[in-house]
Structure 1
Amino acid sequence: MDGRRGDTFGLTAFTSYGVFWMGLSFMFLMEWLGIVELSGAGLAWICISWSIFTAYMTVGTFKISKVHVIVFTTLTLLFWLLAAVFFGGLSPKVAGVVGLICGGAAVYGSAAVLLNATYGRWVLPIGLLTK
Structure 2
Amino acid sequence: MNNVNLGNPAVVGLGGFGLSTILLQLHNLGLCGLGPVLAVGFAFGGIAQLCAGLLEHKNGNNFGFAAFSAYGSFWIAIGIVWMLNYFNIYKSSGTDVGYFLVAYTFFTLILWFASLFIHGAMATTFSILMVGFILLDLGHFGFPALNTAAAYVLIACALAAWYMMAAIIINGVAGRTILGVGEAWLKAGEKEMIPATK
TM range (shorter): over 0.9
Alignment partner of 1:46 is 2:100: yes
The alignment's TM-score, normalised by the length of structure 1, stands at 0.92
Equivalent position of 1:93 in the other structure: 148
Alignment partner of 1:103 is 2:158: yes
In 1, the alpha carbon distance for the partners of 2:115 and 2:68 equals: 14
Alignment of 1:119-130 (within 5 A): 119-129=174-184
CA RMSD of aligned residues (A): 1.4
User: What is the aligned counterpart of 2:82 among 28, 42, 59?
Assistant: 28
Deviation, 1:76, is 1.3
Residues matched between the structures, number = 131
Give the stretch that moved more between structures: 82-91 or 45-54: 82-91
Runs (5+) with no aligned partner, structure 2: 1-54, 189-198
In 1, the alpha carbon distance for the partners of 2:163 and 2:96 equals: 32
Equivalent position of 1:65 in the other structure: 119
Q: Deviations over 1:31-80 (max 9, x none)?
A: 11110111111111111111111011011111211111111111111111
- Larger Rg over CA atoms: 2
Give the stretch that moved more between structures: 10-19 or 96-105: 96-105
Equivalent position of 1:76 in the other structure: 130
In 1, the alpha carbon distance for the partners of 2:165 and 2:179 equals: 10
The alignment's TM-score, normalised by the length of structure 2, stands at 0.62
